[in-house]
């Protein structure tokens, strides 16, 4: 009996030893330089502050040397914290406050150090402006996907002297994985998320390399029917549940204090859009696409993003309707080109850039609700 126990113990230890060796061989070892950059839990405070960035002064320097309050978020942190879009990331940045679902125009309100408004924040992609050049407000949501982000640099505070008047509250620079050739590896990834209210978030990132040619493609698509707030909060949406949905009444205006039939409301001169249904629908959709080509010192790319949300956010339920055709949609297309020239003695560099921007509010955008006067 003792012999059997000894045999069993020997076989068990031998199996563990073999399994340990095989398992250890299967783990890919990271290069030393990547470990030094990404292993933040073992890094000293000085190493953390010396993480490189370029957005604060348009030249490479450490966060400690940057003449601004800046934050650098790496690709590993993006994966570990599950950031799918820029809005998720900015919510974790100190001095930035996000109020979700409170504004019919931009849906979310972003404030940096108490200064509210997305039009005061400049967003760059590899150094190219991807926010409206006209200074208009825009929506920050699923339209700014992080499918190809290698690093995000967030500069808090005015940077207008360097970037222009719309960098009044800060600058965000999304640096893609193709920006640095030494980090470029062929491959790709696909991820999909599904949740309540028919919500789906799908992202794709592909890249290939052939000698000096590098090609990448990032794409993202999001859709959600959004919650039915009338069911979730029956008291707050009592007017919709009892007056509008059942009897067809809607308050015309807080100032005029009049009530109209829903059918009559749809015949007013200011009304545009499809036939009113009285249904509660507040769908959201967004998309993002970014192909980029690099050949030696030349870079060319195209960015398109679109976001559409209900125009009923931020209003008292009795003064608005929740029709699917009552929405605000914004699209933006950017084409960009760049050539980088470095002197033979490596002492100076010349970068030439050319970009084209087209920003548009969807012509089908429509608002159904009270006429606010005064």
Where do the H-state alpha helices sit in 95-201? 160-163
Residue 146 CA to residue 175 CA, distance in Å, equals 10
Distance (Å, whole) CA 367 – CA 271:
9
Token pair 């966060």: residue:
63
Question: Which pLDDT belongs to residue 247?
Answer: 74
Output the CA torsion sign for 101, 104, 110, 115: negative
Answer yes or no: is 88 within a domain.
yes
User: Which residue reads 């920003």 in tokens?
Assistant: 359
Q: What is the pLDDT of residue 97?
A: 95
Q: For residue 64, what are its two tokens?
A: 């400690």
Q: Kindly tell me the sign of the dihedral angle through the C-alpha atoms of 300, 335, 88, 123.
A: positive
- Per-residue pLDDT at 111: 94
Handedness of CA 44, 50, 55, 56 (dihedral sign): positive
Buried b (16+ CB within 10 A) or exposed e, 168-186: bbbbbbbbbbbbeeeebee
Q: Which helix (H) or strand (E) holds 349?
A: strand 349-361
Judge whether 225 and 199 are in contact, CB under 8 Å: yes
- What is the Cα–Cα distance from 126 to 355, expressed in whole angstroms? 12
Answer positive or negative: Cα dihedral of 161, 163, 167, 170: negative
pLDDT means per 10 residues, the chain with 374 residues, are 46 42 41 42 44 52 59 90 94 93 93 92 93 90 93 88 85 78 73 95 92 92 95 89 77 65 58 64 96 92 96 85 88 95 84 92 82 45
Split into its structural domains, the chain has a count of 1
Residue 166's pLDDT is 83
pLDDT value at residue 121: 93
Q: Are 122 and 138 in contact (CB under 8 A)?
A: no
274 within domain boundaries: no
Q: Hey, what are 85's tokens? A: 């879009």
Q: Which domain holds residue 77?
A: 33-228+280-361
Identify the pLDDT of residue 249. 74
Q: Is residue 79 part of a domain?
A: yes
The answer as to whether 347 is a domain residue is yes
In order of 104, 124, 336, the CA distances from 143 in angstroms are: 17, 14, 19
- β-bridge partners, 234: none
Give pLDDT, residue 62: 54
Rounded CA gap, 201 and 84, in Å? 9
CATH code for position 318: 2.170.130.10
Distances (CA, A) of 136 to 107, 260, 310, 359: 14, 34, 19, 9
């Amino acid at each position: 009996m003792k012999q059997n126990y000894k045999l069993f113990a020997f076989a068990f230890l031998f199996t563990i030893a073999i399994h340990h060796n095989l398992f250890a061989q299967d783990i890919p070892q990271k290069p030393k330089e990547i470990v030094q950059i990404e292993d933040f839990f073992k890094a000293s405070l000085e190493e953390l502050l010396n993480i490189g960035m370029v957005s604060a002064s348009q030249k490479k320097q450490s966060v400690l040397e940057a003449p601004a309050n800046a934050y650098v978020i790496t690709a590993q942190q993006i994966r570990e914290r599950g950031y799918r879009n820029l809005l998720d990331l900015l919510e974790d940045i100190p001095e930035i406050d996000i109020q979700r679902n409170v504004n019919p125009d931009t849906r979310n309100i972003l404030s940096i150090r108490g200064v509210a408004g997305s039009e005061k924040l400049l967003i760059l992609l590899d150094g190219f402006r991807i926010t409206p050049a006209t200074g208009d407000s825009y929506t920050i949501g699923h339209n700014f996907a992080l499918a190809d982000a290698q690093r995000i640099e967030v500069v808090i505070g005015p940077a207008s002297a360097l970037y222009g008047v719309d960098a009044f509250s800060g600058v965000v620079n999304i640096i893609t994985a193709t920006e640095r050739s030494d980090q470029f590896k062929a491959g790709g990834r696909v991820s999909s998320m599904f949740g309540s209210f028919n919500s789906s978030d799908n992202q794709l990132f592909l890249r290939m390399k052939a000698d000096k040619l590098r090609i990448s493609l990032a794409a993202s698509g999001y859709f959600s029917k959004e919650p039915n707030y009338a069911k979730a909060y029956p008291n707050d949406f009592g007017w919709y549940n009892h007056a509008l949905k059942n009897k067809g009444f809607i308050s015309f205006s807080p100032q005029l204090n009049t009530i109209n039939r829903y059918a009559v409301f749809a015949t007013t001169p200011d009304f545009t859009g499809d036939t009113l249904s009285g249904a509660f629908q507040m769908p959201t959709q967004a998309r993002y696409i970014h192909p980029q080509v690099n050949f030696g010192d030349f870079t060319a790319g195209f960015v398109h993003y679109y976001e559409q949300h209900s125009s009923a956010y931020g209003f008292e339920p009795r003064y608005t309707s929740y029709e699917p055709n009552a929405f605000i949609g914004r699209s933006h297309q950017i084409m960009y080109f760049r050539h980088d020239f470095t002197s033979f003695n490596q002492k100076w560099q010349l970068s030439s850039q050319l970009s084209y921007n087209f920003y548009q509010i969807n012509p089908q955008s429509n608002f159904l609700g009270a006429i606010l006067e005064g």
